[in-house]
Structure 1
Amino acid sequence: MHVDVSQCPLRNRVFVVGVGMTKFTKPGVENSRDYPDLAKEAGQKALADAQIPYSAVEQACIGYVYGDSTCGQRAIYHSLGLTGIPIINVNNNCSTGSTALFMARQLIQGGLADCVLALGFEKMEKGSLGLTFSNRTNPIDKHLEVLINKYGLSAHPVASQMFGFAGKEHMEKYGTKLEHFAKIGWKNHKHSVNNPYSQFQKEYSLDEVMASQKIFDFLTILQCCPTSDGAAAAILASEAFVQKHGLKSKAVEILAQEMVTDMPSSFEEQSIIKMVGFDMSKEAARKCYEKSGLRPSDIDVIELHDCFSTNELLTYEALGLCPEGQGGKLVDRGDNTYGGKWVINPSGGLISKGHPLGAT
């Protein structure tokens, strides 16, 4: 059967019309809030921001990692409403929140819905992340093989070793200094004082960042994101919905969004930089620039995944903000903060704000 592509309808435009979030907090403390309460606050704030009732929402994509099946339903049934809509639970590790948004956007872009809720929450345990199921294959076993073959594996938290060694590889290959990574932690903590939702809102000196508790090798605690409890939500809508409900003045269009998974280079090049996702970020950025018609020089503000200071620097290069190997020079120029080319992680980033996986 022959299909004339020129006759296929254009993809629908997608707009963010409302957002809401909770303050991110340290997990496991006395009187900490449970996930339905966190989700309720974020969802109600997003609906209020959009000035629409929950009954206008046609589908919901709910992200979380640490919880039993159908926590997404429980999170919104008795706080936002029991309208019988499809509720899709999303679990995609550190990209869970953005994956919920990705799915919600596709539903509208494809013409399957006009208004979709993307909501993520997390109620985490104290301390570093670990495996939940020890009686089955570790999903990152092949990634760890790359790490073990090059640097070995110790008893330190695994994620800190992965991103710590990625930073070490960058230093060995390009001459990057410990101070470059520490300056990123210093910058993000400095930014956090302006974010009332941030788990930490304290400014530190560069010396304090470098002298703080070591988590792995040169990575100190002030260069690592903490585990957190929290929730965040966004209401997405089609152009028709925006017009019908008079939301044009507040609607922000999603010009491009891409999701990329591992490619052969993650495993075949014996590079920890590649193993932790450099080529995925680079390809996602390339596709976004292509679809939007924009370049790095057109952008003013960037929020990126700074699970560790090392990954922020790597992501500068993956996004094309500077040539590969020159992330340290970008840091030295101050092009990652106010007064430079970009303001990167003005929220304080994951390092200060916290990292409840489903909400970030």
Structure 2
Amino acid sequence: MAQRVKVAGVGMIPFVKPGTSANYDEMGSTAARMALEDAGLSYADVEQAYVGFVYGDSTSGQAALYRVGMTGIPVINVNNNCSTGSSALYLARQAIEAGIVDCAIALGFEQMVPGALGDIYNDRPSPLGRFVEIANEGSQNIDAPMAIKVFGGAGAEYQKRYGAKTETFAKISVKARRHAEHNDKAIFRKPVTVEEVMASTPMYGPLTRLQCCPPTCGAAAAILVSEEFAKRRGLKADVTIRAQAMTTDFPSTFTEKSMMKVVGFDLTAAAADKVYADSGIAPEDVDVVELHDCFTANEILTYEGLRLTPEGTAEKFIWDGDNTYGGRVVTNPSGGLLSKGHPLGATGLAQCAELVWQLRGQGGPRQVENARIALQHNLGLGGACVVTLYERA
């Protein structure tokens, strides 16, 4: 019988601009200690560790955790592009659910450099080569940075298909900043207007600079335990992972020549459908969501991929205010990647931390009233998508 998995503790350090952070091992160890303290456990209680990072040498996970303790436990390093943090969480959850261990840590960190993301190794084929080829086929600017070109192309396709106004994309950034105003761990907290967003530097398709997430440095962690372990140790672990799914690309990513598919719409929809089916919880039951808003275009697509609103209706969903406080479901109360920042390996676990705080009622000024069901979406091109559904007991 599968073990019920509880989130016993979370930790997150403030995200900062590249060049201003501590080194990755210090950031990682700090987040790990915070999660352990939050759980009321010691590192000696942890039986396995899953550590996510994208830009770093192998065994960087050990280097970070050795600053916390050296107990000989397995430390598994994880790299799944932007979904790395949630991939680490997925593995830790599997180990506990299968009854292999009772206590595991998922840790993510990233020490990044300024500027757009790019390949590190240029002497071998890029794993994103097929994605870039499709983006270049209809590109308005073949020299644009890869991520901006891919997601901007998806936004342009969405506009063409459904007639969405350019202002609709800008409203996502306005919401993100408004939410982040109350998040002391976010990097961009100053409110902006639709006019300011649209007047910022054009990037690609409907995207302007203020609609693109910044590279940042940071770390976050979660302690997962079995329900039996939590009871035995007297832990206050009120948050349960009710369901979780990971998907990778389907043939449609490449065969349909759709930029919306290239950036993972089908991955998101398949993972979300599995989570709803496994949990017995419907999209309309979700109170709060942290989703992968690396660009405003992806947030719009993800509303529909997660079944929060039917396909083609995201614009109305946004203009009706159903994506924020007072609406149907609060999306990215943290400010999301657009305002909080996006240190790749840490992002998925930072989303987890925010949702755990929301379900515990620890959201402070950004608390979602009576939050009981939370949904997390973390996407990485190449590709992988992890969707996680949490429930407060």
**What is the TM-score when the length of structure 1 is the normalising length?**
0.95
**What is the TM-score when the length of structure 2 is the normalising length?**
0.87
Q: 1:168 to 1:154 in 2, by over 3 A?
A: same
> Take 1:143 and 1:152, find their aligned partners in 2: how far apart are those partners?
16
Question: What are structure 2's unaligned runs of at least 5 residues?
Answer: 348-393
Q: Is 1:45 the equivalent of 2:45?
A: no
> Take 2:144 and 2:136, find their aligned partners in 1: how far apart are those partners?
13
Out of 310, 316, 332, which is 1:323 matched to?
310
> Take 1:206 and 1:151, find their aligned partners in 2: how far apart are those partners?
26
Task: Determine helix, strand or coil for the equivalent of 2:6.
Answer: strand
Task: Determine helix, strand or coil for the equivalent of 1:98.
Answer: helix
Rg larger for: 1
Residues 304-357 of structure 1 show CA distances to partners (whole Å, capped at 9, x for unaligned) of 000000000000000111111111111111100011001000000000000001
In structure 1, the residue matched to 2:281 is 294
Residues 248-300 of structure 1 show CA distances to partners (whole Å, capped at 9, x for unaligned) of x3331100111000001101111000111000000000000001101111011
Residues 219-238 of structure 1 show CA distances to partners (whole Å, capped at 9, x for unaligned) of 11211100000000000001
Out of 89, 100, 103, which is 1:115 matched to?
103
Kindly provide the amino acid, as one letter, of the partner of residue 56 in structure 1: D
Q: Which shows bigger deviation, 184-193 or 149-158? A: 149-158
Residues 43-63 of structure 1 show CA distances to partners (whole Å, capped at 9, x for unaligned) of 111000000111000000000
In structure 1, the residue matched to 2:69 is 81
C-alpha displacement at 1:152, in angstroms? 5.9
Q: 1:217 to 1:152 in 2, by over 3 A?
A: closer
Aligned residues: 347
> Take 1:251 and 1:61, find their aligned partners in 2: how far apart are those partners?
22
Matches within 5 A, 1:1-360: 10-29=1-20, 32-78=21-67, 80-151=68-139, 154-247=142-235, 249-360=236-347
**Which structure has the highest strand share of the two?**
2
CA contact (8 A) 1:150 1:270 kept: no
CA contact (8 A) 2:49 2:76 kept: yes
Residues 144-179 of structure 1 show CA distances to partners (whole Å, capped at 9, x for unaligned) of 222222336521111001000100001111101111
Task: Determine helix, strand or coil for the equivalent of 1:255.
Answer: strand
> Take 1:215 and 1:150, find their aligned partners in 2: how far apart are those partners?
16
C-alpha displacement at 1:99, in angstroms? 0.2
CA contact (8 A) 1:242 1:251 kept: no
> Take 1:325 and 1:227, find their aligned partners in 2: how far apart are those partners?
30
Please report the RMSD computed on the Cα atoms of aligned residues, expressed in angstroms: 1.0
Q: Percent identity over the alignment?
A: 53
> Take 2:189 and 2:243, find their aligned partners in 1: how far apart are those partners?
31
C-alpha displacement at 1:205, in angstroms? 1.2
Question: What are structure 1's unaligned runs of at least 5 residues?
Answer: 1-9
> Take 2:120 and 2:251, find their aligned partners in 1: how far apart are those partners?
27
> Take 2:135 and 2:29, find their aligned partners in 1: how far apart are those partners?
41
> Take 1:150 and 1:111, find their aligned partners in 2: how far apart are those partners?
49
> Take 1:97 and 1:265, find their aligned partners in 2: how far apart are those partners?
25
Kindly provide the amino acid, as one letter, of the partner of residue 191 in structure 2: E
Residues 87-110 of structure 1 show CA distances to partners (whole Å, capped at 9, x for unaligned) of 000000000000000000000011
C-alpha displacement at 1:213, in angstroms? 2.2
